[in-house]
Amino acid sequence: MTAAGPVPTGAGHIRGVGVAVLLLLVALAWLETPWHRRLQFAWFDACQTLSPRRLVELPATVVQIDEKALAELGQWPWPRSVMARLIDAIDAHQPSAIGIDVIMAEPDRWSPARLADQIGADAETRARLLALPDTDAQLAEALARAPVVLGIGGLPDTTGAPVRAPPVLVRGGDPQKGVRTFAGVLASTEVLDRAAPGHGLLSSDLEGGVVRRMPLIGRIGETWVPGFSMEMLRLASGARGVVVHADGARVKSVAVADVVVPTDADGAVWVHFSPRDGRPRVSAADVLAGRADKTLLASRMVLVGATGLGLLDYQTAASGERMPGIEVHAQVLESVFDGAILLRPHWMRWIEIMLLACAGIVLVAAVPVFSPRRSVLLIGAAVAGAGILSLGLFRDRHLLLDAATPSLALVILFGALLALTLAAATRRERALEREVQRQREEAARVAGELEAARRIQTGILPRPDALAGETRVEVACEMTPAREVGGDLYDFFALDRDRLFFLIGDVSGKGLPASIFMAVSKALYKSNALRRGGAAADAALIGELMTRANAEVARENSEAMFVTLFAGILDLGTGVLAYCNAGHDDPTLVGANGALTRLRGGDGPPLCVVDDFSYAGTTATLAPGDLLCLVTDGVTEAQDRAGRLYGGVRLAAVLAALPGAGLGAAAARERIHADVALFVGGAEPADDLTILTVRWNGG
């Protein structure tokens, strides 16, 4: 089958199923299920890794509370007086804004009043401590003197604390339901919070523990609050407030002075991360000691935050790097100045759906008529094209196009189409094989070869009157081949006046080859039995007969066929049955009292399966009136028109319904055959059917 060839039969059906699968995949992609978002985030993170932001503008310097500062100034948290000195030291270099990524929600534990309580000072010592300047007041004064933004956090529960924020003007709509909203606020103490000239929201969007988006605007209760980075820009520019541009219920952008930052509908932005190396940093210890480079602080936005490994303020960025939370805010500021904020407009979903639909239609049209190789090249081109397009938009336009979801959907669609195409080809090949086989069988029937084979096969089976005059035992048998000739076999004959030999078997396969192999197997086994018939009728004899038959039948078995066989020697005087089973179904013994028993033991593999296998027989003793029922799998595996199997359970039910000692072997065989015929209901036989019943009437 090639691309240039005619449309194969069944292509229309395959395309119809393909369209249905494509519609389902489009619906799932539009719903944005959790697995879809995880796949989407994984792709966006991969884009960040493949194309990180290049450092162009460096508007911010990070003042680190790092291991060096902790070693020189002591463990964290420091006394508020030290924080006041740090802010004054930074402010002395006239930065444009100072951002504090530390929420000081409790009074300073190093304040004189708290120290007096902690050490249990006497009255004189308490008076001296209380005469010292209050550290929280010192920090509040430093905050009031400098352009400081204090970070605040949003809480899910109402706290009742006041929310301080600059004026926020909303234009063009009412997006308050779409932006991220918190019920309460986590802020620094009242004296510090009131003193700071700026307040910004520190909360970030964590999806799976990874920082990808940062809100530039949010709400705490009924109050609009700018993000930490936007508040830094406001203080640096000297603007009085923040402007939110909306389009109905969606936020379009957030502006401070002449800086307009496009956002998602909820007022958040996707951060384009850069590697950590190269960003200006300075230790808080160097700032306090006067060792810091002045150019890193003057006229710049300075971010103060914890970076020490023991302070547990590290976040995983979308680029895969672990970085302190203060550096995430620095990344936002740099992205704003570089114009590198990532955008995912609401209409981007439509683009992704259109890509999926168009590529899917091409696959549905092409895969049923393309060769497998060309189909693989086609799906490879579609997936690669989506990835290249997405990476190009990410790098050059800062747009987030999800290539992973359409690619996965296309791969699923391709797999379904390919499976249907291959299944259709397989069905056509099988239909052709069946037609060839049918034509061969028809030619054989016309020539009369199979009819002759049937007559020969039935002619070598024992005659019904082979035991005429023998009253101690009754034997009834029947073989119905599925075709003109069959692979089932049975035989019975007297070894001497007191011993009856019988067997039943099933050759693998059906038709003429099985019938020939059946005739050979039966003849060889009978020859062995007659040659060895003078020995005692016990387990050793029947095992030896089976072993010899296995060796002789397998000797000229060029077609690697095999035979399941059950053989037995019944002592007509005592009812002792010596038997051996070579992979055949265990026969059922119907007692004179109606009880059913499966004759087990004496088992071995089918003949011609294991060379030189030593079979060992076993014995059982029949009571007068006991009936032994032996069948091939053509009975238990007979099928009705619905394809249901006759089964061993139904056979056991028929045997259990026999009237015990009052029914002969022939009547039992007829009962079984009639019930199978009733069940099949005229359906085409699936396998050869053979029934052999042996009834011992007593010695």
- pLDDT-derived band of residue 238, with 50, 70 and 90 as boundaries? very high
- Asked if pLDDT for residue 660 goes beyond 70, the answer is no
- Asked if pLDDT for residue 570 goes beyond 70, the answer is yes
Coil/strand/helix, residue 642:
coil
Contacts of 254 (CB under 8 A, 6+ apart): 216, 217, 226, 227, 230, 242, 243, 244, 245, 260, 261, 263, 267
Which residues sit opposite 511 in a β-bridge?
Answer: none
The pLDDT score that the predictor gives to residue 316 is 83
The pLDDT score that the predictor gives to residue 383 is 92
- In 3D space, the residue among 693, 694, 656, 695 whose CA is nearest the CA of residue 673 turns out to be 693
Helices (H) and strands (E) in the chain, counts: 20, 30
The pLDDT score that the predictor gives to residue 63 is 94
Q: Which of 137-141, 278-282, 691-695 has the lowest mean pLDDT?
A: 278-282
Taking a C-beta distance cutoff of 8 angstroms, is the pair 540, 557 a contact?
no
Q: What is the 3-state secondary structure (H, E, C) of 647-696?
A: HHHHHHHHHHCCCHHHCCHHHHHHHHHHHHHHHHCCCCCCCCEEEEEEEE
* Token pair in block for residue 454: 């049937």
- pLDDT-derived band of residue 234, with 50, 70 and 90 as boundaries? very high
Crossing angle of helices 404-447/11-31, nearest 10°?
Answer: 160
- Asked if pLDDT for residue 484 goes beyond 70, the answer is no
Which CATH topology does 460-696 take?
Phosphatase 2c; domain 1 (3.60.40)
- pLDDT-derived band of residue 318, with 50, 70 and 90 as boundaries? confident
Question: For the chain, how big is the Rg over CA atoms in Å?
Answer: 46
* Token pair in block for residue 223: 């109050």
* Token pair in block for residue 506: 């099933």
Positions of CATH 3.60.40.10 in the chain:
460-696
CA angle 56, 57, 60 (to 5 degrees): 135
CB-facing half-sphere around the CA of 384: CA atoms within 13 A = 6
The pLDDT score that the predictor gives to residue 309 is 60
In the block, which residue shows the tokens 């053989």? 567
Taking a C-beta distance cutoff of 8 angstroms, is the pair 222, 216 a contact?
no
- In 3D space, the residue among 99, 65, 57, 97 whose CA is nearest the CA of residue 300 turns out to be 97
The reply to whether the predicted model has a pTM over 0.75 is: no
- Asked if pLDDT for residue 691 goes beyond 90, the answer is yes
pLDDT tens, residue by residue, 424-436: 888 888 888 888 8
The pLDDT score that the predictor gives to residue 7 is 42
The pLDDT score that the predictor gives to residue 126 is 66
Coil/strand/helix, residue 630:
strand
The pLDDT score that the predictor gives to residue 445 is 65
Percent of the chain scored above 70 by pLDDT? Answer: 88
Where b means 16+ CB within 10 Å and e means fewer, 8-25 reads: eebbeebbeebeebbeeb
pLDDT tens, residue by residue, 178-213: 899 999 999 999 999 999 999 999 887 777 788 889
Gap between the Cα atoms of 620 and 345, Å rounded: 85
pLDDT tens, residue by residue, 605-651: 998 888 889 998 899 999 999 999 999 988 998 999 888 999 999 99
Residue 353's H or E segment, with its range, is helix 348-366
pLDDT tens, residue by residue, 513-546: 666 666 776 677 777 777 765 555 577 888 888 8
- pLDDT-derived band of residue 561, with 50, 70 and 90 as boundaries? confident
**Contacts by 459-465 with C-beta closer than 8 Å and gap 24+?**
460/519, 460/522, 460/523, 461/490, 461/491, 462/490, 462/491, 462/492, 462/493
389 or 325, greater pLDDT? 389
Taking residues 389-418, report their average pLDDT: 92
* Token pair in block for residue 214: 């940062």
Contacts of 559 (CB under 8 A, 6+ apart): 513, 517
Taking the alpha carbons of 262, 263, 265, 266 in that order, is the dihedral positive or negative? Answer: negative
Percent of the chain scored above 90 by pLDDT? Answer: 46
Coil/strand/helix, residue 12:
helix
Q: What beta strand segments (E) does 177-271 contain?
A: 181-182, 184-186, 198-201, 205-207, 210-215, 217-220, 223-226, 242-248, 250-256, 259-262, 268-270
pLDDT tens, residue by residue, 590-609: 988 888 999 998 889 998 88
- pLDDT-derived band of residue 117, with 50, 70 and 90 as boundaries? low
Gap between the Cα atoms of 269 and 248, Å rounded: 19
Q: Which of 397-401, 413-417, 547-551 has the lowest mean pLDDT?
A: 547-551
* Token pair in block for residue 505: 């078997």
- pLDDT-derived band of residue 1, with 50, 70 and 90 as boundaries? very low
The pLDDT score that the predictor gives to residue 533 is 57
Mean pLDDT of the chain: 86
Number of residues that make up the chain? 699
Q: Is 664 exposed, middle or buried (0-12, 13-18, 19+ CB in 10 A)?
A: middle
- Asked if pLDDT for residue 655 goes beyond 80, the answer is yes
* Token pair in block for residue 242: 């923040």
Beta strand pairing call for 242-248 and 488-496: unpaired
Gap between the Cα atoms of 274 and 306, Å rounded: 20
Taking residues 543-569, report their average pLDDT: 83
- In 3D space, the residue among 619, 71, 588, 604 whose CA is nearest the CA of residue 310 turns out to be 71
- In 3D space, the residue among 469, 626, 500 whose CA is nearest the CA of residue 567 turns out to be 500
Residue 478's H or E segment, with its range, is strand 473-480
- pLDDT-derived band of residue 2, with 50, 70 and 90 as boundaries? very low
Taking a C-beta distance cutoff of 8 angstroms, is the pair 493, 462 a contact?
yes
Contacts of 380 (CB under 8 A, 6+ apart): none
* Token pair in block for residue 65: 């509370």
Beta strand pairing call for 168-173 and 60-65: unpaired
pLDDT tens, residue by residue, 16-38: 888 999 999 898 888 878 888 88
* Token pair in block for residue 94: 């006239």
- pLDDT-derived band of residue 125, with 50, 70 and 90 as boundaries? low
- Asked if pLDDT for residue 121 goes beyond 90, the answer is no
pLDDT tens, residue by residue, 353-364: 999 999 999 999
Taking residues 328-333, report their average pLDDT: 91
* Token pair in block for residue 610: 């294991």
Coil/strand/helix, residue 474:
strand
